[in-house]
Homo-oligomer: A and B are copies of this chain.
């Protein structure tokens, strides 16, 4: 069981840790601070936090390996802190399974909103076997997807994709991440697979496949299922 309202902050800069602690504690989160990546990993293992904030500028060794390590045994949501001009590191972190990112210097309200959103997503999925989004619905137990209450005929791969998207609504899923999840760690070059399957899915789930509102492209990065209202 995860510890309610506990957040682990992994950052080598004590100033930023302090600012984050004060900000988060004011919102009644319990904060565990770690200055080094190794300590951060141990803290996540011991405290089972509800969320992790990880600064990519760690000197100890790079934040990526910390994230990769955590991801081998935990699906706790991880928000990345990074400098603005490092688009590449953001994508690399998302590839490894980071849930969200925020650029330094960050704005407090934005950070809090992202924390809430990421915690909410995990709670939603953990407790539901059926999830709705717009006029779509997925049943994780029966492994079926419906559009306007009509069952869609999906192939196995198509269903796997839908499952991942429904479990990560509003989260950017990188090409690499999706390929690893579905085709395993070897096919990270085969982005074209994704294009073909995304295209097929759009034909089935979108009202207008040429102007998708569910499966959105983040050019150069990946795809994302948008939350759609009713």
Copies in the complex: 2
Q: List B contacts of A150 (CB < 8 A).
A: none
A97-112 Cβ-contact flags toward B at 8 Å (1 or 0): 0000000010111101
A160 to B90, CA, bound (A): 14
A45 with B15: CB separation less than 8 A: yes
Contact segment of A29-37, A60-68, A180-188, A208-216:
A180-188
A110 with B85: CB separation less than 8 A: no
Q: Which A107-152 residues have C-beta < 8 A from chain B?
A: 107-110, 112-114, 117, 125-129, 140-141
A85 with B184: CB separation less than 8 A: yes
- Determine how close the nearest CB of chain B comes to the CB of A127; give it in whole angstroms: 6
- Determine how close the nearest CB of chain B comes to the CB of A133; give it in whole angstroms: 15
A84 with B182: CB separation less than 8 A: yes
- Name the residue of chain B whose CB is nearest to the CB of A1: B22
Interface of A, helix, strand, loop or mixed by DSSP: helix
A165 to B117, CA, bound (A): 25
B108 with A126: CB separation less than 8 A: yes
What is the number of residues of chain A that contact chain B, defined by CB distance less than 8 Å?
Answer: 41
Q: Which A160-200 residues have C-beta < 8 A from chain B?
A: 160, 167, 180-185
Q: List B contacts of A4 (CB < 8 A).
A: none
Q: List B contacts of A180 (CB < 8 A).
A: 85
A16 with B85: CB separation less than 8 A: no
Q: List B contacts of A140 (CB < 8 A).
A: 107, 109-110
